[in-house]
Structure formats: structure tokens, C-alpha cells
Amino acid sequence: MDFDFSEDQDQLRDAVRKWVEKAYTFERRRAVAADGGFSADAYRELAELGLTGLYIPEELGGLGMGPVEGMIVLEELGRGIVLEPLAQALIAGAVMSNHAPKALASTWAPLIASGEKMAVLAYQERASRYRLDSCNTTASRQGDHWSLTGNKSLVVAGDNADAWMVSASADGEIGLFWVEKQASGASTRGYGTIDGACAAELTLKGTPAQLISEDGMAALEHAVDVGIAATCAEAVGVMEKTLAITVDYMNARKQFGVVIGSFQALKHRVADMKMQLELARSMSYYASLKLGAPPAERRAAMARAKFQLGQSMRYIGQQAIQLHGGIGVTDEYIVSHYFKRLTQMEMVFGDSLHQLSEVSSRMQSSAGVFA
């Protein structure tokens, strides 16, 4: 039982932190958000750091690293509320390493690792809300060839992707499929999201696809769990920076002749924010450390973690605005952007109430981390 980071892990954290501080300033981010919410240049810089290949084995051009490294990287990117969705590269890496057939992996994994190509998960549908097992997109088979028809929603950076990992239903069973951007019948409609990033609606009409995994639910659940752990980690970074910004403000802003940080009611608010941050950090560690567990245990752990993170994100985000007073709700000042990212992350991979329902329905008679 050990929660220390190795020297290599500390160096990885340092490298990402430096890039965020020097190369991904708030001004750059604002410019990217104003220009569609995704920068190919920034994505390339992440690739140059090796990060797009974090979960891809070395023999396929990646770094062959694991959940703890992923957690560290996402925390650091969260501190800068980086718009480019590295979590999707982690998902793609996990899918390539664990579920994709060799032919598909040997072609695409190196391209994802190098950052030359980007693949994202396309599983949500308007009628399904957060459910993974409900799918109106259909997959039909002619011999060895598959084709997909349907509509996927809220695909992160979907119109910037070179390929999508799509869940579709074949004879009532859910499969996970690989669809390339130029495939016939595929079209996207991109739009901005409240956090400044972008997503897309994906339409498929008899679109040719490759099968990733017949056991689509296993692959999809794993992919989503990688996404949940990444989201939890990123949220810790976002919240840490949000609290730091707030603390700086409270130690600087003067009213009634004193800094507002001297008022006890506000001190207690800060203490409660710190509580939420540490609970969130603890559950983010839990999520990452459970990513390698057997599926049922892993699923249950992700639901618990995402619920806690949801509570913490909402509290810290809301209170950060509150403690800033009027400037907290302006666009010009930085804290509202952190709040919007926290708000967005609640609704990604299942919100708190959805996760509570998952936890509740899976509840065992025992309790605790080792339950």
C-alpha cells in the first residue's frame, strides 16, 4: 500500500506542468476557444511530449505506460484547462491494446501514438442519456464487411477526429466498431461546448466499419472507465488550480480595511473546499488504481469515484465563483472558465445521479475500499 510517485513519474508530471505553464497560457486557450475549441498545433505538441501514445505499447510506437502515468498527465492538463482531449487518446490507446484485432492495432496504434491521427469514442445517442447498453445505431453484416447506420451524439472533438470508435447494435448485441473519417456515408456537424471545447453529432448511413470487438459491451465499458478515470484525474487538477486562484484572491482583495480571507465565514468555506479537493483526490487515486481490476469491480469503483468527483467539482466550482464576488461571473476573469470546465465534466460519462444509481444498484452487503 503505497501512494508515492516514482522519480520517473515526478519527471513526467514536471514536463507536462512546464508545457502547460509556458506553452498553453490562458491567452492561448482563449484564442483556441474563440477559434473552434481545438488546436491541431497544440495537439501536435502533446504528441511531441509522447502523451498521445501514453497507453500504446512501445512496440507500436507508444510509451507503454499505465493508469498512474495517465492520472498524472491529466491532472497537469487539468490545471491549465487544456482544451485538446488527451483523454480520448488514452481511451483509443486502451482500446488498441486490449480489444482491437492485431491488423487494426498495427495500422492505427502508431498513428495515434505519433499524434498524426486522432481517434475518439462515439457512443452516446440522444435517446440513451448516459446508458451504455441502449443503442439505436445498427450494424449490419455482409460476409466480412460491416456497415453502420445511425446517429451518435456529443462526440468529443468529433469533427476533428480521423476515426471514431462507435458502439452499434447487431442482432440485439452491442459491438464496438472502427469507422474512418473518409468512410462513405459518414458526416459530422461540429459545435462548441460550454467549456470552450468542441463536440460533434456524427451521422452514419450504411457506413463501412471494421469490428473492434464482438464483446462490444466489455470493450465499451472499459473505454468508458478509462475515460472516467481520466476525467477524475483532470478534475483534480482543475479543482486544485481553482482553489489556488481563489486563495490568492482572498489574500489580496480588501474590503472594510482587511483582506476578505480574514473573515471566518469565508475561512470555513475554504476549509470545506479543501475537504472536497482531498476527497476528490483520494477517489481519483482510487479510480486509477482500480482501472486494472476485474470488470465488475472496476465498474463499481468508477461509479463511486465519479459520484464523489461530481460532488466535489460542483462545490468547489460554485464556491470559487461565490468567493470572488462579482468578478467571478465575468468572462474576462479566469475563474469562470475553470467553473465551466468543472460543470462540463459533471455531464461527461454519467452525471452524479446516474453514478449514484449505479452504486446503489450494485451495492453489496459489505463496505469499504476493499469491499
Partner 1 sequence: MDLAFTPEEQSFREDIRAWVAANLPADISHKVLNALHLSRDDMQRWAKILGKKGWLGHGWPQEFGGPGWNSVQKHLFEEECALAGAPRVVPFGPVMVAPVIMAFGNAAQQARFLPGIGSGDVWWSQGYSEPGAGSDLASLKTRAERRGSSYIVNGQKTWTTLGQYGDWIFCLVRTSNDGKPQTGISFLLIDMQSPGVTVRPIRLLDGSVEVNEVFFDNVEVPAENLIGEENKGWTYAKHLLSHERTNIADVNRAKRELERLKRIAKAEGVYDDLRFRDEIARLEIDVVALEMMVLRVLAAEKSGKQSLDIAGLLKIRGSEIQQRYSELMMLAAGPYALPLIHEAMEAGWQGDAVGALHCAPLASTYLNMRKTTIYGGSNEVQRNIVAQVVLG
Query: Residues interacting with partner 1, by CB under 8 A?
Result: 1-5, 68, 243, 247, 250-251, 261, 264, 267-268, 270-272, 274-275, 278-279, 282-283, 285-286, 288-290, 304, 307-308, 356-357, 359-360, 363, 365-369, 371
* DSSP 3-state of 175: strand
CB of 31 or CB of 244, closer to partner 1: 244
Question: Shortest approach of partner 1 to residue 77 CB, angstroms?
Answer: 19
Neighbours of 194 (CB within 10 A): 10
- Reference 344, options 24, 81, 35; nearest CA is 81
CB of 182 or CB of 264, closer to partner 1: 264
AA identity, residue 32: V
Question: Is there a contact between 120 and 85 (Cβ–Cβ < 8 Å)?
Answer: yes
Question: Shortest approach of partner 1 to residue 200 CB, angstroms?
Answer: 33
Question: Shortest approach of partner 1 to residue 335 CB, angstroms?
Answer: 16
Question: Shortest approach of partner 1 to residue 261 CB, angstroms?
Answer: 5
Alpha-carbon span 278 to 107, nearest angstrom: 41
* DSSP 3-state of 298: helix
Alpha-carbon span 320 to 270, nearest angstrom: 9
Question: Shortest approach of partner 1 to residue 71 CB, angstroms?
Answer: 9
Question: Shortest approach of partner 1 to residue 299 CB, angstroms?
Answer: 14
CB of 189 or CB of 362, closer to partner 1: 362
Q: Provide CB contacts within 8 A for 137, sequence distance 6+.
A: 125, 148, 149, 150, 151, 152, 166, 167, 168, 169, 204
Question: Shortest approach of partner 1 to residue 54 CB, angstroms?
Answer: 16
DSSP string covering 247-277: HHHHHH-EETTEEGGGSHHHHHHHHHHHHHH
Return phi, psi of residue 165, to 5°.
-100, 110
CB of 39 or CB of 246, closer to partner 1: 246
CB of 226 or CB of 243, closer to partner 1: 243
CB of 117 or CB of 290, closer to partner 1: 290
CB of 329 or CB of 363, closer to partner 1: 363
Alpha-carbon span 198 to 158, nearest angstrom: 8
